[in-house]
Structure 1
């Protein structure tokens, strides 16, 4: 198998690993899935340093439990080159929360909760979507594509072809990527620019997550809010917590010209981190999707935030994974990523002004978030 493992930060190189997977029923009601790398610890064929990673025997044991539950035991054993990891993210990786067993278990648990809700005929109490099952399915499919494309941009995944830009007056901690869309109906045609960076924020993950997904506080940092609060029109639950959901937001703007634009947003929160991804969508397209129409041709350019543990533990090396905050650390890592259409002509040349605009957008957004957190 060939897989890419990502931490949602441009400061951590993507790990691309080729490995063998062995699956076996170990005993009655017990299964084992074990992976091991078959590549050597060296650069890839193009000299890519992010291939310098070996997955030593790793995997999980799954045991049947009563009441249709499973007990999962996971071990992750990896050899990697720490020299190409930004110093800000080294504690996250060395703690095991970046690519470790804790992260995979938290992700697995969240995904299973989401599947259980989607397959259930009884909707959770907080789900007041008010749309039919086909509409819910189509909207969730669109949100999945939006989040997938956001992650592919932040981490420069090989899933989508990006060209890295090196601009002299832009901070080295900001990764700027560009590509041209000619025939993909899932995003606007033209030249797309993606910029992302990660910073340390002196606030717990839960506090920052609650602030970022608060519609009433949206105007503190989001230019799409038109200076006012957002209104949640649709809420589709994807987990037990109120923060695991897909939402449709509308800006409370007095300007009638802005009434044709909505915000599709997906948020989730678990022990490994939190995510807030959003994209502007027009009213006719969302109307079609909520009626169960095909979402594949709805053009999206996602932006958003990933909130990660900072890996600093202070006293001892214990952590409270249930609350998702490191004991002894009052901060977290915030990844900011924006994708914007800088020109609707795919043949257009990228300008320095476009790069500076998106870089300034990142800087101003981070400053506004820090300022707002000091006031609340």
Structure 2
């Protein structure tokens, strides 16, 4: 019995010993080839710091996230996108993890691409070799767990848009068709559908695609085209202290100076890239461009396909600018009078952007040139000129905001039975703004087509000697030119200060500030009564922000007669067949912001607008 028990116990001990030997062998193998349980990568206990170990875990998570994002981007962009070919290498420093996203640096989705015959030799196209675009840290912390999927999708969308913009800018591209007059180019929609992978166009949208090229020295702001713009998110601020690789999410409102054309609100990406020395490109593209059913958002009545400009340095200290505008919009929101104008590109198209850019550049060049003398018999100094120009710019901005009803100002639309539907009457309260009188501001504007040459109408409206033929304020007193600051070689682009010819010495002298300009895209004449004491301070270089004014004026757009089927334009944008006249007035309806408006105040604006149009027609002998 004792011998049998010892034999049985010996067998059990031998089995336990074999089990321990096997476990020991497994432990030795594990120590020879350590594996991280979280990320699956190799790990050497005691030789990897805690920070690096965490980075390896984060690296594995980011690779998994990137694969998911590529799958989503493939769905949105409609083309295959692969994840990074090789795992992301660990940085030498463990102070942070920088993730480079993209193929061939910040290149396009396609490795192909051709140089541009127009002089842009981009090597391998958009996919030129350049350092990776760094992603900046978000406001909530380092990119990582907080990084939303949309930001990576934005990067792919921006690069795809840049690729498309550069290809569309090629001089001999079949994507563009010359118009009958040979002056402009319009998009070949059939070719574009085969060229680009875009979302399905909503049934109620029409397409507007234009391209234009010109020479410029530098770019300026487009105050009469862009009603409002703001940056929502900065995904990348660029590299090396430049804008190369800058990518941001923006919101903007584009406007045509007519109450019959609604403002175009856009949420888009802006991507800047330097393709080579002296060649830059800036592309904008709507964020929801590839999402099916994106038109369900009632706030957006249009979407912008890859649009923007390519800027190339020229040897004569100028820049060659090629501009492309491509968008789709709901035409039913636009008055039928302006359908052909928008389709031709004279509303939001490349022609208008370049015409505005060229005019601003010429103005800046003229104002800063020491060889040009400005007639100034009042001894106006440099500071006085700057202050007057700043005041005139504020006047223009306020006029545009009142006509287009952009969100720059909070307007309330007023509806009255006896007011025409084509006349838009709005009201807002002015309380703490020193730049305008306190009270309730009324705005009335409308647009009509006139069978008059645009240049003839412009010369008539800006001439102070003819002002009494249409201006109620100048009916009893002729207006005389007191001061004029020229902004170009011609006399049409200028800021003027007019003074009423007062016969009685006891009467108060009324001053009128006026700015006028004209380019290939249209003309503008805006004016506002100003206080003589305030203007005296401005002319001495004082702060113009405290000068209260309410602007009124006219915007003139080229356009043929309604139903003509096309907009007749010549190389310089003139239109002898007729033009669109927008009339806009802003008046003080009440001196008390808390007061209630009555019907009489609205009728006053209605009468002022309609009588002004009738007087202009009568003076120009329009039936």
Q: TM-score range by the shorter chain?
A: over 0.9
TM-score for the superposition, normalised by structure 2 = 0.57
| 2:514 is equivalent to residue 265 of structure 1 | yes
Q: What displacement does 1:258 show?
A: 4.5
SS at match of 2:420: coil
Bigger relative contact order (CA 8 A; separation at least 6): 1
Map 1:1-376 → 2, pairs under 5 A: 1-39=250-288, 41-42=294-295, 44=297, 47-48=298-299, 51-124=300-373, 130-310=379-559, 319-322=569-572, 324-326=573-575, 330-374=577-621
Q: Which of 243-252 and 311-320 deviates more? A: 311-320
Looking at structure 1, the residues matched to 378 and 265 of structure 2 have their Cα atoms a distance apart, in angstroms, of 38
Q: Deviations over 1:302-329 (max 9, x none)?
A: 000000012569698763131x223xx5
Higher mean C-alpha displacement, 159-168 vs 256-265:
256-265
Q: Quote the offset at 1:91 in angstroms.
A: 1.2
**Alpha-carbon distance in structure 2 between the residues aligned to 1:133 and 1:278:** 22
The one-character-per-residue Cα deviations of 1:48-69 (angstroms, maximum 9, x if unpaired) are 4xx2110101111111123321
Shift of 1:341: 0.3
Q: CA deviation at 1:24?
A: 1.2
Structure 2 residue runs without a partner (length 5+): 1-249
Inter-partner Cα distance in structure 2 for 1:65 and 1:371: 50
Q: Classify the secondary structure of the residue corresponding to 2:402.
A: helix
- State the shift of 1:229 in Å: 3.2
Displacement of 1:117 in angstroms is: 2.4
Return the index of the structure with the highest Cα Rg: 2
2:560·2:567 contact (CA, 8 Å) conserved in 1?
no
Change (3 A) 1:126 1:357: same
- Alpha-carbon distance in 2 for matches of 1:200, 1:318: 14
Distance (Å, rounded) in 2 between the aligned partners of 1:316 and 1:157:
28
Provide the aligned C-alpha RMSD in A.
Answer: 1.9
Distance change >3 Å, CA 88–CA 318, structure 1 → 2: closer
User: TM-score w.r.t. structure 1 length?
Assistant: 0.93
The gaps in structure 1 that reach 5 residues or longer are none
Deviations 1:197-223 (A, max 9, x none): 000111011000000011111000011
SS of 2:364's equivalent in the other structure is helix
Q: Are the structure 2 counterparts of residues 316 and 127 from structure 1 closer, same or farther at C-alpha, using a change threshold of 3 Å?
A: farther
Does structure 2 retain, via aligned residues, the 8 Å contact 1:127–1:237? Answer: no
1:104 Cα shift? Answer: 0.1
Query: Which digits, 9 at most, give the CA deviation of each residue in 1:4-26, with x for residues without a partner?
Result: 11000000000010111111112
- Relative distance call for 1:168 and 1:231 in structure 2 (3 A) is same
- Greater displacement, 223-232 / 350-359: 223-232
Q: Over residues 243-292 of structure 1, what are the superposed CA-to-partner deviations in whole Å (9 max), with x where a residue is unaligned?
A: 11110001223244554210000111000000010000111111000000
**Cα 1:127–1:65, aligned 2, differ >3 Å: closer, same or farther?**
farther
